[in-house]
Amino acid sequence: MTQQKISNAQLTRLQVLWSQYVHREMIKNSRDERLRWASEQTKRAISSFKELTLSEASDLINLLQSEMGIKESSPAVRPRRFRSRMKDRDQAHAAGTEGRRGSRGKFTIATASDLAMIDAMITELGWDRERLDAFLRSPSSPLGGRSNIQLRTVGDINRVLWALKRIAARQTRGSVQK
């Protein structure tokens, strides 16, 4: 049974972490040094990071992160936000402009992928659905205090998503200052 090879994301993450590690520890940053270190850690000869298995790469990433004091939930290692590909030019334009002040002319019905972006954002914030509903009912709601808090249009999604992004940025700034 063959082991899965390292993913492209893991390869990139491992190379970035290694570069940061050698800079911090003032080690000579050479390919030979990197491969020697990987061979020592995996207890087998490694001639390229691409030879690593998925689990070996994960172990090496975790090792480098722990050596440098990077926690898994740190904003520096946060996974990318959910992004879906736009199907056509009109949808891309709607996603970028609907919900802005002064652009009230056209309404596009929100799709499941639009709602998934909200779900990904509340997960990133550590909120649950009840917390989001309470926020949407509050006086500071991006929906303008409407009694109906259902997200039906791309404009509604955009307004809520932009507000949640500002909240996340404030939380990140607050945790960095502490």
pLDDT in tens, 149-162: 788 888 888 888 98
Is the pLDDT at 90 greater than 90, yes or no? no
46: containing domain: 8-74
Same domain, 42 and 114: no
> Residue 41 falls within a domain, yes or no?
yes
How does residue 76 score in pLDDT terms, banded at 50, 70 and 90? Answer: very low
Average pLDDT, the chain: 80
Mean pLDDT of 7-32: 85
**Is 136 within 8 Å of 143 (Cβ atoms)?**
yes
Mean pLDDT of 55-81: 72
Same domain, 98 and 38: no
> Residue 130 falls within a domain, yes or no?
yes
Same domain, 38 and 99: no
Q: Which helix (H) or strand (E) holds 175?
A: helix 154-177
Burial status of residue 135 (CB atoms within 10 A of its CB: 0-12, 13-18, 19 or more): buried
> Residue 3 falls within a domain, yes or no?
no
Cα-Cα end-to-end distance for the chain: 48
Q: How many domains does the chain have?
A: 2
Same domain, 17 and 69: yes
Same domain, 45 and 96: no
Same domain, 108 and 166: yes
> Residue 80 falls within a domain, yes or no?
no
pLDDT per residue as tens digits for the range 45-63: 999 989 998 889 989 999 9
pTM here is: 0.46
Q: Find the Cα–Cα–Cα–Cα dihedral 92, 7, 78, 29, rounded to 10°.
A: -120
Same domain, 94 and 161: yes
> Residue 67 falls within a domain, yes or no?
yes
Distances in Å between the Cα of 9 and the Cα atoms of 72, 93, 130, 142 are: 15, 30, 33, 35
Same domain, 64 and 29: yes
